[in-house]
Amino acid sequence: MMKTLHRQVLLLSTAMLAACGGPAVSIATHSATSGPRAGDAGNAAVHPAHLWLQNGQSPDGSVTLLDATTGKTLASYPNGVASRDWSRMYVVTAQASQNLLKVVDPATGRDITVTTTDPGFALPTSGGGQRPAGLSPSGGHLVLAGASPSTPSPSTTSRFLVYDSNHLDRAPQRIALGGSFLFDGINDDGRNLYLLEDLSTPTTGGAYHVRRYDLIAGALDPTIIVDKRTGEKSISGTAIDSVNSRDGAWQFTVYGFGQMSPSPFVHALNLNDAIAFCIDLPSAPRDQVLDLLWGVAASHDGRFVYAVNSAHGSVVEMAADSPYQTRQATFPVPTPTSAAAWTPWTPVTVQAKRQVDGAAAISFDDHTLYSIGDAGVFVVDAARLRLTGSLLSKQALSSLILSGDGQRLYATSVDGAVLQVDVSTGRWASVTAGGAAVSVLRAQP
């Protein structure tokens, strides 16, 4: 158990507590009495940009292209998932007797490819905002998931379609498995499909086995993927955020609110070699709601992945090729308003609390981390893991992303507003006053 910390401290280690069902690692919530601020909220002009937004949650949401200057919607699509370079967006639309699978050019809004797919299938989702998923890291393979029953049972059949995304006209590989399985990931060469086998019961809540489906053999691997160091077989909780390493080999997913796992943790899964590690994360005392504000970001040089939570001042650096090699630090932040209202006996459920979808971003030179806090954005030096400033806002934020030139952050608030903040002056501007925006996905000139 980590000792409670009352001042900024850096811990260097080659391994943290790493059992998916292991004990919680607690950390104090600080009051920010020092440390530079990049600036408080103020009035600023909206910089010209086109913003891709997710509106609402799957399956009823949409993806829209917004002109930041005018506030006008330029294009709208059903929820879609974009390739890493944003050259393609994959969209599934339901028709009367069949579904259409479309590939859209995000730059022009034009259809690149349109084909039919089986009715009842849709893009799988991930994260607190139920963001559409299903693509391999490089975008070469696409997975669609069949509709899941509201109450899983042993008689449930889980169905998936796996496409070569460069040849959508070819028949997909069809998978049917007895039991309740959820999409987790797929590797770049299209050999390994990863699924979460749902073990939920009224007493365990959301508990899962991580399984590999061998797409070459066309069979579920009987071996359960366990924590390589501890042998722990099950993971528990709700996925909060996820990111791939830059080379696509590893998938890092933050989980929280697990009845079997009192602390949040990162599940680091090697998509090529089917091995996994669990990295426990600090959890603030008596304010589990703040665990929803964990975000993950991968450095552009491919060396590190960072998990950061500025609601209670915690950051963990993981080596991208050896996730169990970590550094950890804490930094002072104001006592969250939401935390002050909580008492130890207050029940906390992920459905009832603040949903955040993309709580962290990293500068293109890998020097600076930006992280959503209880109010505004906090700025962390990625090399020293130290707080260097804050971009305070009166609005509770739900997502953020960095502009292509690295000069501005775009964010959504919990009431659906879209905001802009200049990272050098800290001045905020309102792009839209409110609406249905859940997260900002991309900012382009």
DSSP 199-263: --BTTTBSEEEEEEEETTTTEE-SSPB-BTTT---EEESEEEEEEE-TTSSEEEEEEE--SS-SS
| Residues facing residue 159 across a β-bridge | 176
- Residue 401 bridge partners (DSSP): 410
* Closest to 309 in 3D by CA, of 16, 29, 14: 29
Three-state DSSP at 293 gives helix
pLDDT at 352 (0 to 100): 43
Q: What is the DSSP letter of 39?
A: B
What's the pLDDT at 200?
77
Whole-model pTM: value is 0.88
pLDDT of residue 154: 56
Q: In what order do the strands lie in the sheet with 418-422?
A: 397-402, 408-413, 418-422, 428-432
Please tell me the predicted confidence (pLDDT) of residue 24: 41
pLDDT score, position 335: 77
- Find all residues with CB under 8 Å of 3, minimum gap 6, and list them: none
pLDDT of residue 237: 85
What local confidence, expressed as pLDDT, does residue 256 receive? 86
Question: Could you give the CA distance from residue 2 to residue 282 in angstroms, rounded to a whole number?
Answer: 9
Greatest Cα pair distance in the chain: 62
Instruction: Please give the angle made by the CA atoms of 98, 102 and 108, to the nearest 5 degrees.
Output: 150
Q: Tell me the one-letter amino acid at 57.
A: Q
| Contact yes or no for 15/28 (Cβ under 8 A) | no
Stretches in the chain below the pLDDT threshold 50: 1-19, 23-36, 38-42, 339-352
User: Which backbone phi and psi does 292 adopt, to 5 degrees?
Assistant: -70, -15
* pLDDT value of position 291: 86
pLDDT value at position 43?
66
- Four-way CATH pick for 9-444: 2.130.10.10, 3.30.700.30, 3.40.50.9100, 1.20.58.100: 2.130.10.10
Determine the pLDDT at residue 17. 38
CA distance 423 to 425: 6
Query: Could you write out the DSSP letters of every residue in 301-338?
Result: TSSEEEEEETTTTEEEEEETTEEEEEEEEE---PPPHH
